[in-house]
A and B are shown apart, each in its own frame.
Chain A
Amino acid sequence: METFFAGNYDVIVVGAGHAGVEAALASARMNKKTLMLTINLDSIAMMPCNPSIGGTGKGHLVREIDALGGEMGINIDKTFIQSKMLNTAKGPAVHSLRAQADKVKYHIEMKKVVENCPLLDVKQAEVSEIIIEDYKVKGVITTIGSIYHGKAVVLATGTYLGGKIFIGSAVFQSGPNGLAPSLKLTDNLKTNAIDLRRFKTGTPARVNSRTLNYDKMQREDGDQKIVPFSFLNDQLDIEQVPCWLTYTNTTTHTIIETNFHRSALFSGEIEGTGPRYCPSIEDKINRFSDKNRHQLFIEPEGLDTNEMYVQGMSTSMPEDVQLAFMRTIPGLENVEIMRPAYAIEYDCIDPTQLKLSLEFKNIDGLFSAGQFNGSSGYEEAAAQGLIAGINAVLKIDNKEPFILDRSEAYIGVLIDDLVTKGTEEPYRMMTSRSEYRLLLRQDNADLRLTEKAYQIGLASKERYDKVVHKVQAIKEEMERIENTLIKAKDINPFLLENGSSELRDSITIANLLKRPEIFYDMINQFDINRPDLREDIWKQCEISIKYQGYIEKQLRQVEKFKSLENKKIIDINYNDVEGLRIEARQKLKAIQPNSVGQASRISGVSPADISVLLVYMDYKRRSKNV
Chain B
Amino acid sequence: MSNETIVAISSAIGEGAIGIIRMSGENAFVIANNIFKPKSSYNQLENRKMVFGEIVKNNHVLDEVMIVYMAAPKTYTKEDVVEIYCHGGVIAIKRVLDYILEFDVQMAEPGEFTKRAFLNGRLDLSQAEAVMDLISAKTEKGFDVAYQQLEGTLSGKINQIRQELLKVVAHLEVCIDYPEEDIEEVTYPEILESFVMVQNELTLLLKHADNGRIIREGLKVAIIGKPNVGKSSLLNALLKEARAIVTDIAGTTRDVIEEHLNIQGIPIRIVDTAGIRKTSDQIEKIGVERSKEIFNQADMVLFVLNASEKLSEEDQELIELVSNKKSIIIVNKIDLESKIDWAHVENKFDDRKIVKTSLLNDDGILEVEQAIVDMVYEGDIHASNDQLLSNARHIQAVKQSLKSIEAAIHATQDNMPYDFIEVDTFDCLESLGKITGETIENDIVKEIFGNFCLGK
Contact = CB atoms under 8 A, between A and B. Distances in A.
A623 B135 contact: no
A435 B429 CA distance: 12
Contacts of B1: 563, 614
A432 B1 CA distance: 28
A291 interface: yes
Contacts of A93: 419
15 contacts: A49-B456, A90-B417, A91-B418, A94-B418, A284-B455, A293-B182, A294-B182, A294-B453, A438-B419, A553-B423, A563-B2, A579-B133, A581-B136, A607-B109, A612-B135
Interface stretch (B20-28, B304-312, B441-449): B441-449
A314 B180 CA distance: 17
Of A89, A91, A314, chain B has the most CB atoms within 10 Å of the CB of: A91
Given A284-B453, A432-B422, A608-B139, 12 more contacts: A90-B419, A278-B454, A294-B182, A312-B455, A314-B455, A432-B444, A516-B414, A516-B416, A550-B423, A563-B1, A578-B132, A580-B136
A438 B135 contact: no
Given A87-B176, A432-B173, A432-B176, A616 B135 contact: no
What are the 4 closest A-B residue pairs judged by CB atoms, nearest first?
A91-B417, A579-B136, A278-B455, A579-B132
Interface in B60-98: none
Contacts of B415: 516
Given A94-B419, A291-B453, A432-B445, A581 B179 contact: no
Contacts of B132: 577-579, 612, 615-616
Contacts of B216: none
Of B2, B177, B416, chain A has the most CB atoms within 10 Å of the CB of: B177
A112 interface: no
A526 to B, nearest CB: 24
A607 B433 CA distance: 13
Contacts of B453: 279, 284, 287-288, 291, 294
A312 B180 CA distance: 11
Given A553-B423, A578-B132, A618-B118, A432 B182 contact: no
Contact of B178 (A56, A294, A615, A623): A56
A279 B118 contact: no
Nearest to B450: A276
A295 B419 contact: no
A554 B423 CA distance: 8
A609 B142 CA distance: 12
Interface string B306-325: 00000000000000000000
A203 B455 CA distance: 11
A279 B175 CA distance: 18
B125 A619 contact: yes
Interface of B: 1-2, 109-112, 115, 118-119, 121, 125, 128-129, 131-133, 135-136, 138-139, 142, 173, 175-182, 414-420, 422-423, 426, 439, 441, 444-445, 448-449, 453-456
A576 to B, nearest CB: 11
A53 B177 CA distance: 15
Nearest to B434: A607
Nearest to B110: A608
Interface string A587-626: 0000000000000000100111101101110110011001
A544 B453 CA distance: 35
A190 interface: no
Contacts of A288: 453
A57 B178 CA distance: 10
Contact of B420 (A550, A560, A603, A618): A550
A252 interface: no
Given A94-B419, A580-B136, A608-B142, A50 B182 contact: no
B177 A430 contact: yes
A203 B175 CA distance: 23
Contacts of B136: 578-581, 608, 612
